[in-house]
Amino acid sequence: MAEDFNEDFNVDEFIAGLQRDKSKEYSPDNVLVKVMMNQRDHQGTVTIVPFISKNVGNIYSKLEGVKEWYGYTSLLDSGEGWFKILPLKFYKDITPTQIELYNEVVSLFDACNETGKFGYNEAGVLRVRNYSLFTGVCLKHTNTEGKSIEDNINKACLFIFPSNAPIDALQTCISSKAELLGPKTTEFIRRIITPSLTNRGGVVQISFKKSSSPGYDSSVNFETNTEFNTVIDPTKEFSKELASLFDDPIKTFLGWMYDYDNKKYFNETYFVELRDNLRDALNPTPQPQEEPKEENKNGNIDPMTTPIPSVDATAAQGTQETQTKSGGYKPPF
């Protein structure tokens, strides 16, 4: 029997399987780095080589009306985090049961929002945001004071802006170029926004910072190679592996919320946990009250025994303590 088993065992397939299943080694060159532009330290100007995302077909993705709730989850080691609910159109191939769950979660979120009790401020757990996601290799990053930020230079990055202002600024920039260049605008843009892995002719600069009024200020500029300045070496060649990192920016944006087992944006476990968070916030479970302690009229003297004369038998008045725990929702901060 052992000999027959050994003959059936495919060693080549065994080795190939190990190669497929081995843990991927972490390297800055094989991950798409999330750069959170809501952070004050990141705000300023980024110069990027834009890459077109395969799934999106563009260098940016626009997410509007993303509902967010800070709550408890088993999907993170910390046990808590910001849940994000994308518009339904982003969740492809979901079942009728999952659609029902999605609609229930949205309804609960809206109900929490209407109470006005959970609004986002320094201690809030609820907010609604718009996002602009830009994909590209970071060539330069300076903060609002003009100081260089070196963390992500020459890395594939997903720039996450908590506003649609950068997309509006990009449209303004292109409109200005069109007025100046006329029919040559298309050729100009193709020097910068292209699927080509080499022979790049320019870059995109995005400035972004918190406005003095509510919201953010943003501007976009195109910089191209000239006889006076080379903003990007046209002979530089990017790898196919690097370009593939930009294929699915929404997946990277979701991060821990993504269903890696089923390779879907809709993570059923995640939505069930979010639903339970929202239910508890709207209808907190009352905590049992502690029973009040009976007042001891005899102090420390046991009424069933005779006091020893040499001992001071003065009755000590007991105190009655009644503690009531509130059942209100406590933000997990």
Question: What is the reported pLDDT for 12?
Answer: 78
Question: What is the reported pLDDT for 3?
Answer: 52
Counting residues of the chain whose pLDDT is more than 90, the rounded percentage is 73
Instruction: State how beta strands 80-85 and 202-210 pair.
Output: unpaired
DSSP states of 146-205 as a string? Answer: S-B--TTTTSEEEEEESSSHHHHHHHHHHHHHHHHHGGGHHHHHHTTS-S-SS---EEEE
Question: Residue 313: CB partners within 8 Å, gap ≥ 6?
Answer: 301, 307
Domain 27-279, CATH among 3.40.1360, 3.40.50, 1.20.272, 3.90.198: 3.90.198
Residue bearing the bigger pLDDT, 317 or 96: 96
> Looking at the DSSP assignment, which residues form a beta bridge with residue 327?
none
CB-CB contact of 68 with 62 (8 Å): no
CB-CB contact of 218 with 204 (8 Å): no
Tens digits of residue pLDDT in 241-292 = 999 999 999 999 999 999 999 999 999 999 999 999 999 999 887 666 666 6
Q: Terminus-to-terminus CA distance in the chain, angstroms? A: 61
Kind plus residue range of the DSSP H or E element containing 94 = none
Q: How far apart are CA 45 and CA 211, in angstroms?
A: 15
Phi then psi dihedrals of residue 306, to 5 deg = -90, 125
Tens digits of residue pLDDT in 148-160 = 999 999 999 999 9
What average pLDDT does range 34-58 have in this prediction? 96
For the chain, domain boundaries: 27-279
Residue 36 in tokens: 């959170």
Of 123, 106, 139, nearest to 278 by C-alpha is 106
Residue 59, pLDDT above cutoff 60: yes
- Report the alpha-carbon angle 261-265-270, nearest 5: 75
DSSP states of 275-297 as a string? Answer: HHHHHHHHSPPPPPPPPPPPP-T
Residue 285 in tokens: 């479970």
Estimate to the nearest angstrom the gap between the alpha carbon of 255 and the chain centroid. 6
| pLDDT level of residue 214 (50, 70, 90 thresholds) | confident
| Strands, E assignment, 211-305 | 216-224
CB-CB contact of 125 with 295 (8 Å): no
> Looking at the DSSP assignment, which residues form a beta bridge with residue 68?
84, 127
Predicted TM-score (pTM) above 0.95: no
Of 286, 265, 310, 266, nearest to 98 by C-alpha is 266
Q: How far apart are CA 249 and CA 159, in angstroms?
A: 10
